Amino acid sequence: MNMKRVVTALLSGVAFFGIFAPSAQAQFAEGLYVQAGGGASFPNRIGTSLGTAINLNTGYTAFGAIGYGINNGFRIEGEFAYSSFDVSSLVFQGNTSAGRGDIDTYSGLVNIYYDLLFPEITDIVSPYIGAGAGVSSISANNITAPGFTTVNGSSTVFAYQFKAGLGFRLGSSATILLGYRYFATAAPGFTDNLGTSLTTDSPNIHNVELGFRFSF
């Protein structure tokens, strides 16, 4: 998946909705809201304690959240997020072998956001920043390559993230979200098919996302 194409597609979607967005007076989010969305995920190479490195293809992410706006710029929410990545290759002592298998992450986090308003410039667009922390269950599914052992299993570890983006208001209740998310966890541990325990580097994942928020 080409990152330029992903970003272009997301921007095109925002532009489409923005054309038809009715004017709305700028105001901070207040009360209960729900939001959901998805996007493209770009993971780092993951090293292991056995000396093997795992290269992952560009993956995808999906998320849903329930939150509350405090009407002073701050929002707090509980979020569930899912990401999936196919293994492209394994590297050991400089030799690369075509790999197979995949890695899935299931994460529950509590996020805090701050929305910015610039009513003298626009009533439609509002930037936001946010951070969150929680736990992530990372599943390794049949990760292997010719001549390598097979790794399966799951590991639950501490997770955290940082977010930034733009909200495009469609009215008093609806907002389109275009954002960036940096997601990382503590180092997970797994066991291969020979019973050997291993740990991996901490996953560091960059995400480009498109979402929708509805306020009640």
Q: How far apart are CA 89 and CA 82, in angstroms?
A: 22
Is residue 24 predicted with pLDDT exceeding 60?
no
Quote the pLDDT of residue 19: 46
pTM of the model: 0.84
Quote the pLDDT of residue 26: 59
Beta strands at 204-215 and 30-43: parallel, antiparallel or unpaired: antiparallel
Only one residue has tokens 């899935």, namely: 104
Residue 122 makes CB contacts below 8 A (sequence gap 6+) with 26
Q: Which of 2-11, 29-38, 60-69, 113-122 has the lowest mean pLDDT?
A: 2-11
Q: How far apart are CA 172 and CA 170, in angstroms?
A: 7
Helix (H, G, I), strand (E, B), or coil: what is residue 7?
Answer: helix
Q: Which of 9-13, 156-160, 172-176 has the lowest mean pLDDT?
A: 9-13
Beta strands at 189-192 and 95-98: parallel, antiparallel or unpaired: unpaired
Only one residue has tokens 């929002």, namely: 75
Q: Bridge partners of 76?
A: 68, 112
Quote the pLDDT of residue 72: 87
Q: How confident is the model at residue 123 (pLDDT cuts 50, 70, 90)?
A: confident
pLDDT in tens, 183-213: 999 999 998 888 888 899 999 999 999 999 9
Residue type, 38: G
Q: How far apart are CA 154 and CA 26, in angstroms?
A: 45
Is residue 75 predicted with pLDDT exceeding 70?
yes
Quote the pLDDT of residue 200: 92
Is residue 9 predicted with pLDDT exceeding 90?
no
Average pLDDT for 169-192: 94
Q: How confident is the model at residue 2 (pLDDT cuts 50, 70, 90)?
A: low
Residue percentage of the chain with pLDDT more than 90:
69
- Segments making up each domain of the chain, as ranges: 3-215
Under CATH, to which class is 3-215 assigned? mainly beta
Quote the pLDDT of residue 20: 46
- Output the average pLDDT for the chain: 88
Average pLDDT for 132-137: 98
